[in-house]
């Protein structure tokens, strides 16, 4: 039996809770109904497995170009696709999607196969890029696009004033913490985005993965602060590890992002991209220096 929790309806917004509460590879898609049209946000693998939203969408918006957020794009071939212009490249083709991760050849090959087989990815060269502040007009319901970069360059959420709901996509408030491990991720953009999230005024805060929907700023803010704190924890742990001179390869093998028992061809790439961003800024700020080329030590 497939575990599909009931959708949550908040005014014109329906949160289509994903299988396993939206744990990867699934996720919680959003369906918005207005007097002049419907919008599906982030067509997840669940929308393929379970038959999708209550009605066919007139338009689809993707929060960013990652495999789990674009799985259903091929299924809604007649619906125009919108995505922030900085991630547009990633939905046009599978090659475009792979560029965003920036994996080496072996990891890229394994990932390509997984995206084709498990996520049924279909490129949408007809997709349209939009900018921060773009309004998707559904008649009596307006959907505002919020550019929230860092996870990817074009990562974006939405605000539906009629439901007092903000959808934060992969600012997912999980214990894993912020993910900035792709070629197109940026740690400091993510930090500025999280700063912006502290000021979000809404009643409902919806995320793509298993934290689901949080009600009220009183619940949202502690979860946001715990999420932000993971970045600081990674940096403090890196500084402690650099009590002895270490190379980047040492840092990658040590595992600051993933637990040591997690396996996958892409793990080294994500550790490398994530932790070199910390390393570069620690060196820039004078907290780390090279005792010889390529050997880093705190102090
Ligand atoms: Zn993502």
- 54-77 pLDDT, tens per residue? 999 999 999 999 999 999 898 999
- Say whether both 265 and 164 belong to one domain: no
- Say whether both 190 and 276 belong to one domain: no
Q: What is the pLDDT of residue 4?
A: 56
Label each residue of 158-205 as H, E or C. Answer: EEEHHHCEEECCCCCCCCCCCCCCCCCCCHHHHHHHHHHHCCCCCCEE
* CATH code for the domain of 35: 3.60.15.10
> How far does the centroid of ligand 1 lie from the alpha carbon of residue 293, in Å?
34
Please compute Rg for the chain using Cα positions: 20
- Say whether both 151 and 185 belong to one domain: yes
- Say whether both 152 and 74 belong to one domain: yes
> How far does the centroid of ligand 1 lie from the alpha carbon of residue 192, in Å?
17
In this structure, is residue 233 part of a structural domain?
no
> How far does the centroid of ligand 1 lie from the alpha carbon of residue 212, in Å?
15
User: Full-prediction pTM beyond 0.85?
Assistant: yes
> How far does the centroid of ligand 1 lie from the alpha carbon of residue 298, in Å?
32
Instruction: Mark which of 228, 258, 277 sits at the end of a domain.
Output: 228
> How far does the centroid of ligand 1 lie from the alpha carbon of residue 291, in Å?
36
φ and ψ of 279, to 5 deg: -60, -45
Instruction: Mark which of 195, 228, 261 sits at the end of a domain.
Output: 228
> How far does the centroid of ligand 1 lie from the alpha carbon of residue 151, in Å?
7
- pLDDT tens readout for residues 261-291: 998 888 999 999 999 999 999 999 999 999 9
> How far does the centroid of ligand 1 lie from the alpha carbon of residue 66, in Å?
5
> How far does the centroid of ligand 1 lie from the alpha carbon of residue 170, in Å?
5
- Say whether both 289 and 217 belong to one domain: no
> How far does the centroid of ligand 1 lie from the alpha carbon of residue 22, in Å?
13
Q: What is the pLDDT of residue 1?
A: 40
Local structure of residue 246 (DSSP, 8 states): B
- Say whether both 258 and 218 belong to one domain: no
- Say whether both 291 and 220 belong to one domain: no
> How far does the centroid of ligand 1 lie from the alpha carbon of residue 284, in Å?
28
- Say whether both 21 and 143 belong to one domain: yes
Query: Which residue ranges in the chain fall short of pLDDT 50?
Result: 1-2
In this structure, is residue 115 part of a structural domain?
yes
φ and ψ of 157, to 5 deg: -110, -175
> How far does the centroid of ligand 1 lie from the alpha carbon of residue 127, in Å?
18
> How far does the centroid of ligand 1 lie from the alpha carbon of residue 67, in Å?
8
In this structure, is residue 46 part of a structural domain?
yes
> How far does the centroid of ligand 1 lie from the alpha carbon of residue 64, in Å?
7
> How far does the centroid of ligand 1 lie from the alpha carbon of residue 75, in Å?
20
Instruction: Mark which of 228, 263, 288 sits at the end of a domain.
Output: 228
Neighbours of 251 (CB within 10 A): 21
- Which residues constitute the domain of residue 257? 243-298
Give the Cα separation of 121 and 249 in Å (integer).
Answer: 33
Give the Cα separation of 202 and 176 in Å (integer).
Answer: 24
- Say whether both 280 and 135 belong to one domain: no
> How far does the centroid of ligand 1 lie from the alpha carbon of residue 26, in Å?
12
In this structure, is residue 294 part of a structural domain?
yes
Q: What is the pLDDT of residue 233?
A: 98
> How far does the centroid of ligand 1 lie from the alpha carbon of residue 290, in Å?
33
> How far does the centroid of ligand 1 lie from the alpha carbon of residue 249, in Å?
25
> Coil, strand, or helix at residue 292?
strand
In this structure, is residue 199 part of a structural domain?
yes
In this structure, is residue 269 part of a structural domain?
yes
> How far does the centroid of ligand 1 lie from the alpha carbon of residue 292, in Å?
37
In this structure, is residue 218 part of a structural domain?
yes
Identify the CA nearest to 119 among candidates 208, 46, 45, 187: 45
- Say whether both 191 and 269 belong to one domain: no
Q: What is the pLDDT of residue 52?
A: 82
> Coil, strand, or helix at residue 43?
coil
> How far does the centroid of ligand 1 lie from the alpha carbon of residue 288, in Å?
30
- Say whether both 224 and 247 belong to one domain: no
- Say whether both 180 and 256 belong to one domain: no
In this structure, is residue 234 part of a structural domain?
no
- Total number of domains in the chain: 2
């Amino acid at each position: 039996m497939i575990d599909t929790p009931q959708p949550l309806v908040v005014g014109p917004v329906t949160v289509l809770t994903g299988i396993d509460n939206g744990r990867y590879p699934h996720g919680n898609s959003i369906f918005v109904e207005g007097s002049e049209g419907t919008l599906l946000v982030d067509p997840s693998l669940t929308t393929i497995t379970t038959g999708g939203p209550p009605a066919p969408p007139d338009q689809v918006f993707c929060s960013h170009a990652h495999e789990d957020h674009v799985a259903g794009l091929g299924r809604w071939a007649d619906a125009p696709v919108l995505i922030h212009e900085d991630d547009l490249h990633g939905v046009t083709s599978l090659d475009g999607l792979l560029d965003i991760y920036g994996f080496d050849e072996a990891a890229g090959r394994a990932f390509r196969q997984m995206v084709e087989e498990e996520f049924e990815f279909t490129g949408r060269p007809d997709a349209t890029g939009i900018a921060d502040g773009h309004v998707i007009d559904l008649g009596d319901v307006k959907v505002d696009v919020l550019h929230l970069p860092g996870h990817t360059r074009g990562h974006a959420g939405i605000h539906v004033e009629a439901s007092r709901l903000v959808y934060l996509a992969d600012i997912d408030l999980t214990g894993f913490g912020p993910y900035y491990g792709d070629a197109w991720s940026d740690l400091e953009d993510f930090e500025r985005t999280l700063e912006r999230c502290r000021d979000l005024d809404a009643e409902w805060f919806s995320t793509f993965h298993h934290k689901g929907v949080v009600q009220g700023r009183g619940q949202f803010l502690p979860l946001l602060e715990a999420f932000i704190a993971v970045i600081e924890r990674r940096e403090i742990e890196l500084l402690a590890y650099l009590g002895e001179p270490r190379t980047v390869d040492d840092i990658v093998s040590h595992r600051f992002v993933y637990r040591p028992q997690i396996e996958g061809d892409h793990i080294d790439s994500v550790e490398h991209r994530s932790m070199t961003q910390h390393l570069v800024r620690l060196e820039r700020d004078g907290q780390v220096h090279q005792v010889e080329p390529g050997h880093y030590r705190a102090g």
